Amino acid sequence: MQVDFSFICDYAEATNKINALGIGFDTIVAQHVPTRHPTFFLVIQMRATVVEAGDKNFEVHMIDEDGKEIIPPLKGKITIPRPPSGTESTGRIAMRFDNMEFPRYGSYSIHAVVEGHEMTRIPLRVVQASPIGLS
């Protein structure tokens, strides 16, 4: 199984294709910490062979720069359909995160794991906003 692409964005839906807005942001600017980001989506498109298709265990981990989980791992199942013809099939995920709290400024990363194998890692930074009027 391989990842075709992965990103975080402001909004997404996954049906027969991915529809997304605000693709690929990697920085949250905050006046203070802890801070909450109202909503973002994790988007992943994976390609699987006929042999790899089927129900898979899926986990998402949000990690801080010290390697600690800032939320409990999100666990579920994803079904990658068997291709009707040919040798590959596509699985798509658009996972919504609401009111995600970031406890401090620094680097974070979102890790997506399928069947115990890390499929993608997306970096995300939380930085302090510049004081108004100063540059």
What pLDDT, on the 0 to 100 scale, is given for residue 135?
52
Q: How far apart are CA 33 and CA 40, in angstroms?
A: 18
What pLDDT, on the 0 to 100 scale, is given for residue 31?
95
Grouping H, G, I as helix, E, B as strand and the rest as coil, residue 11 is strand
Residue 132 has pLDDT above 80, yes or no: no
Look at domain 2-128 and name its CATH class: mainly beta
Q: How far apart are CA 58 and CA 38, in angstroms?
A: 24
Q: Which amino acid is at 95?
A: M
Q: How confident is the model at residue 84 (pLDDT cuts 50, 70, 90)?
A: confident
What pLDDT, on the 0 to 100 scale, is given for residue 134?
55
Is residue 34 reached through a cis peptide bond, with omega within 30 degrees of 0 on the bond before it? yes
Q: What share of the chain is helix, strand, coil (3-state, %, to 5)?
A: 0, 65, 35
Give 70-102 as a DSSP string.
SSPPEEEEEEEPPPSSSSEEEEEEEEEEEEEEE
Tell me how far apart the terminal alpha carbons of the chain are, to the nearest angstrom. Answer: 47
Domain positions in the chain: 2-128
**Mean pLDDT score, 49-64:** 95
> Tokens at residue 79, please?
């079904």
Whole-prediction pTM? 0.90
What pLDDT, on the 0 to 100 scale, is given for residue 8?
97
Contacts for 133 with CB less than 8 Å, ≥ 6 apart: none
Q: What is the pLDDT of residues 109-123, one digit of tens each?
A: 999 999 999 999 999
